[in-house]
Amino acid sequence: MADDVTLPGTGDVIAADEISSKKYQRMKLTLGADGVNDGDVAAANPLPVVVDFSMLENLLRQLVQSSASPSGFDRSLGRARVTAVVESGTLSAVTNLTNMGTMPATQLAVHQNLSAWHACVRSRIT
């Protein structure tokens, strides 16, 4: 059974598709600028699409940078780098440390307070 609709007064038939007891008008896409018909969209005349990869490229670049050089990792040394602030007393070398409490000593230390880092870096910014 055809889903088409006949317009009153003119008798023109409009293509339609009935879905769940509602009629949706069927339409064709036509290519071209205003006043120009470059043909209907079809397999031989596909709809032109422009893809902008700049956002994807930037995202991928950031992901590669962060995976190649994680925060706090010094590639030249091949290990994590930490800044220690000694406010009083003395600092002596620590060697052969395997555990810090219950955590492995080789684990990257996640610093919660960046004020020491800011104080160190701020003076080097020109």
- Which one has a higher pLDDT value, 31 or 73? 31
Q: What average pLDDT does this structure show over 100-104? A: 65
Q: What is the pLDDT of residue 105?
A: 61
* Interior angle at CA 98, CA 96 and CA 104, nearest 5: 150
What's the rounded mean pLDDT across residues 98-120? Answer: 60
- Give the position of tokens 């490229």: 57
Instruction: Give the Cα separation of 97 and 71 in Å (integer).
Output: 22
- Both structure tokens of 61: 């670049």
Q: Which residue has the higher pLDDT, 107 or 73?
A: 73
Beta-strand relationship, 16-19 and 13-14: unpaired
